[in-house]
Amino acid sequence: MPPGGSGAVASGLREPLRRAHVSFAATWAGESAFMVALSVVAFREGGPGAVGAVTAVRMAMAALLTPFLATVADRVRRERVLTSIGLVRAVALGTAAVVTAADGPALLTYLAAVVATAALALFRPAHSALLPALAKSPGELTRANAVRGMLDSLSTLGGPIVTGVVLSVSDPAVAFSLCAALSLLGGLVVVALPYDPPPRDMPVKRSPSRDVALGFVSIARDRHLSLITGLGVVQTFTRGCLTVLAVVVAINLLGLGDPGVAVLNAAIGAGGVLGSVGAFTLLRRGGLGTWFGIGIALFGAPLVLVGALPTTVCAVVLLGLVGVGNALIDVCGFTLLARLTDEKVLARMFAGFEAVLTLGVALGGLAAPLMVETFGPRGALVAVGLLAPAVVLVTLPAQRRLDAEMQVRDADISVLRSVPMLRLLPAATIGQLGDGLRRAELAPGAVLFEQGDAGDRFYVVESGIAEVLQRGLVINSLGAGDGFGEVALLHQTSRTATVRAGAGEPLRLAVLERSRFLTAVTGYPTSATAARQVVSEVRRRDALRADQSEDDASSS
């Protein structure tokens, strides 16, 4: 990591990514503050049972609605989805503020919370699907997710702190008003975000239910996506339990009162900040699957010790470790999901992922009060805390297989990024190209294709020498990292030259089929412009070399 650490990484992100992160920070800070204020209102109305019920209802509604809403996010510019979400949340949270200030029915506040939560549940899928379109490489995507993870942690820290201050001097209505303002900022900052959206195919006619199901199907069909989702459910079930347990621990077990709820939630945020800083260094070494598992384990294991050592200092420190785990989960999980999924269904996959995880939070919110009643606060903490590390141990071999496959993908992407016109593609697109990469090997002197043959593939030299011939004369030699074959593909013509393996060693090639190459290169203005420039330069250079070769042959 270069000097400056995470700050240097954040400042190095390009302008569209910075604006996307401001949107996330504002929205997530508002949500973190809102959760604390809403928990306090619900606890005043009906104790732990009310907190669990409100958590369960709003998460369940979000889980049901998000997959339907996400079909739109895969068909329109995704920053427009973020703007719409910000506006909806601003209205819903503003309504909650007015109702609470007027001492209106708590049920209306809860209904407003359901609307705001349903909108927020679509925010992260749309934002997660937007980042790969903004990032230019897997490394930049990982850095963008790391910065977002830090912002998530800072929001989890700052939102509760501000809410705690507000609750100590005022009432929840003021906190709700602040949350509404932050949501509005999160929506407006991404208006007219500058980037090239991914190319879209013509809409396929299918039933609405099948369209919605594509996100879930993509998860079910991929063992790695299923692994990440399954571990994520364990984490969110724990989070749902923690939503209730944090209130019980702060008020009943530690006697800290309403501001204590904010203190414990802020401790998670503080740990997340530290975890995000460490993630910048750790993730450079790879192993995203393993680090994701470690994050899941850390989200639960500290709760066991909180139950065993129920003091304020221990609770704050140990919940800080939960925050560290949360930071690793966010960075690793969302980077892996984005890289493993077809961009065309990316928002729907993220929505399906969020829907399943949101149900996990709802189940945790329902289970926690029962566990507190059955085992007491300390026993409930121990029982909940043991779940995550146990599941991580069972799935450790699958995590290692995931890491091994990502290493192969990284090597394929590195090959493609050596080609100038492909280097300009967004991370999501070049990742999809890497999935379709095939290998070929030619013995020294073997012909790959003849001048006049039909062009159906694009090639990148991995090792060896590729000789380019026209009229039987060698006019160029291509080495590792050089691409060729684009002229026939882009202009739909026959091969303009013969290519054979040079003498001395085998020619090893990475191969892209015509349809994949054309969809990627011509679908983005920047790469299409670069491709036209490359073709013009290739034709000009080959013509000059052909003339020179003929002159040399005539002279001899």
Residues 419, 303, single domain; the answer is no
Residues 386, 270, single domain; the answer is yes
Residues 415, 390, single domain; the answer is no
Residues 379, 521, single domain; the answer is no
Domain that holds residue 497: 409-555
Q: Give the confidence band of 22 by pLDDT, cuts at 50, 70, 90.
A: very high
| Region label for 257, one of left (φ > 0), alpha (ψ between -120 and 50) or beta (otherwise) | left
Least confidently predicted of 236-240, 311-315, 381-385: 311-315
Query: Is residue 293 pLDDT above 80, yes or no?
Result: yes
284 vs 235: CA distance, rounded Å: 24
Residues sharing a CB contact under 8 Å with residue 428, sequence separation 6 or more, in sequence order: 132, 133, 135, 141, 198, 338, 339, 343, 346
Residues 382, 426, single domain; the answer is no
Query: Is residue 184 pLDDT above 90, yes or no?
Result: yes
Last residue of a domain, one of 339, 366, 394: 394
435 vs 416: CA distance, rounded Å: 11
Residues 387, 430, single domain; the answer is no
Query: Is residue 219 pLDDT above 80, yes or no?
Result: yes
Cα 387 to Cα 52, 264, 317: the distances in Å are: 19, 21, 20
How many domains are there within the chain? Answer: 2
CB 194 within 8 A of CB 202: no
pLDDT at 8: 41
- Summarize the confidence of residues 5-26 as an average pLDDT: 71
Residues sharing a CB contact under 8 Å with residue 484, sequence separation 6 or more, in sequence order: 458, 459, 461, 466, 468, 478, 499
Residues 390, 481, single domain; the answer is no
Residues 436, 541, single domain; the answer is yes
Query: Is residue 482 pLDDT above 90, yes or no?
Result: no
Who wins on pLDDT, 528 or 29? Answer: 29
Residues 338, 302, single domain; the answer is yes
Q: Looking at the domain assignment, is residue 466 inside a domain? A: yes
Query: Is residue 11 pLDDT above 50, yes or no?
Result: no
Residues 36, 162, single domain; the answer is yes
| Region label for 487, one of left (φ > 0), alpha (ψ between -120 and 50) or beta (otherwise) | alpha
Cα-only R_g, the chain: 27
Q: Give the confidence band of 395 by pLDDT, cuts at 50, 70, 90.
A: very high
Q: Looking at the domain assignment, is residue 449 inside a domain? A: yes
Give long-range contacts, CB 8 A cutoff, 24+ apart: 8-17. Answer: 9/143, 9/146, 9/147, 9/280, 10/147, 10/150, 12/143, 13/140, 13/143, 13/144, 13/147, 14/134, 15/194, 16/134, 16/193, 16/194, 16/195, 17/131, 17/134, 17/135, 17/140, 17/144, 17/147
CB 133 within 8 A of CB 76: no
Share of the chain above pLDDT 70, in %: 85
Q: Looking at the domain assignment, is residue 517 inside a domain? A: yes
Query: Is residue 200 pLDDT above 60, yes or no?
Result: no
- Dump pLDDT digits (tens) for 114-138: 888 888 878 888 888 888 878 777 7
Quote the tokens at residue 97: 């503020």
> What residues are paired with 441 via a beta bridge?
508
Least confidently predicted of 235-249, 431-445, 535-549: 535-549
Who wins on pLDDT, 26 or 280? Answer: 26
Residues 374, 483, single domain; the answer is no
Q: Looking at the domain assignment, is residue 1 inside a domain? A: no
Q: Looking at the domain assignment, is residue 204 inside a domain? A: no
The closest of 124, 76, 119 to 95, measured between CA atoms, is 119
Least confidently predicted of 296-305, 377-386, 403-412, 514-523: 514-523
CB 26 within 8 A of CB 186: yes
- What mean pLDDT is reported for the chain? 81
CB 475 within 8 A of CB 549: yes
Can you give the CATH number for the domain in which 72 is found? 1.20.1250.20
Query: Is residue 489 pLDDT above 70, yes or no?
Result: yes
Q: Looking at the domain assignment, is residue 51 inside a domain? A: yes
* Highest averaged pLDDT of the listed ranges 353-367, 378-392, 414-428, 516-530: 378-392
Residues 37, 91, single domain; the answer is yes
Can you give the CATH number for the domain in which 444 is found? 2.60.120.10
Q: pTM for the complete prediction?
A: 0.69
First-last CA distance in the chain: 57
pLDDT at 525: 58
Q: Looking at the domain assignment, is residue 4 inside a domain? A: no
Last residue of a domain, one of 343, 361, 394: 394
Last residue of a domain, one of 394, 426, 456: 394
Q: Looking at the domain assignment, is residue 202 inside a domain? A: no
Share of the chain above pLDDT 90, in %: 19
Quote the tokens at residue 88: 């909806």
Least confidently predicted of 53-62, 197-206, 438-447: 197-206
Quote the tokens at residue 330: 């966010």
Q: Give the confidence band of 256 by pLDDT, cuts at 50, 70, 90.
A: confident
- Look up tokens 């009162």; give the residue: 257
Q: What is the DSSP string of 47-84?
A: HHHHHHHHHHHHHHHHHHHHHHHHHHHTTS-HHHHHHH
Rounded to the nearest 5 degrees, what angle is found at the Cα of 85, between the Cα atoms of 233 and 362? 25
Least confidently predicted of 22-31, 376-385, 422-431, 475-484: 422-431
